[in-house]
Amino acid sequence: MKVKVNNSLVIIGAIISLIFATILGIYGQDISYYLNNRYPTIELKTVITIVTFLSIALYIVTPVLVLKILKLKGVYLLACITVFTLIGLPISLFSFFVWAMWMG
């Protein structure tokens, strides 16, 4: 019973992390504008850099932690890697492109 609860919590945490990374990756520019309007001393380039690389880091760290904790094998391993790659790669490339355009 304890193992199933632990596995469920890890999977729920991974899904929340995936959603959070997606929101940061897609709306990073809007988040930087909002924070700059709310706190004018924060520079836009600083916020977009933090948000972009936090999103990319979440896409990299989350599957690694899931694979280490759950020790997935076979079809489950392939499914986990496929999901994180299909969702994370395009959004990370998009947010990196937006960040690169901001940097000039």
DSSP 46-90: HHHHHHHHHHHHHHHHHHHHHHHHH---THHHHHHHHHHHHHHHH
- Which residue range forms the structural domain that includes residue 40? 2-103
Q: Tell me the whole-structure pTM to 2 decimals.
A: 0.85
- pLDDT at residue 4 is higher than 80: no
In the DSSP assignment, the letter for residue 89 is H
Mean pLDDT of 7-32: 91
Mean pLDDT of 24-42: 93
- pLDDT at residue 1 is higher than 60: no
pLDDT of residue 10: 84
pLDDT of residue 34: 94
pLDDT for 51-89, tens place per residue?
999 999 999 998 888 888 888 777 887 888 888 899 999
Q: Considering its fold, how many domains does the chain have in total?
A: 1
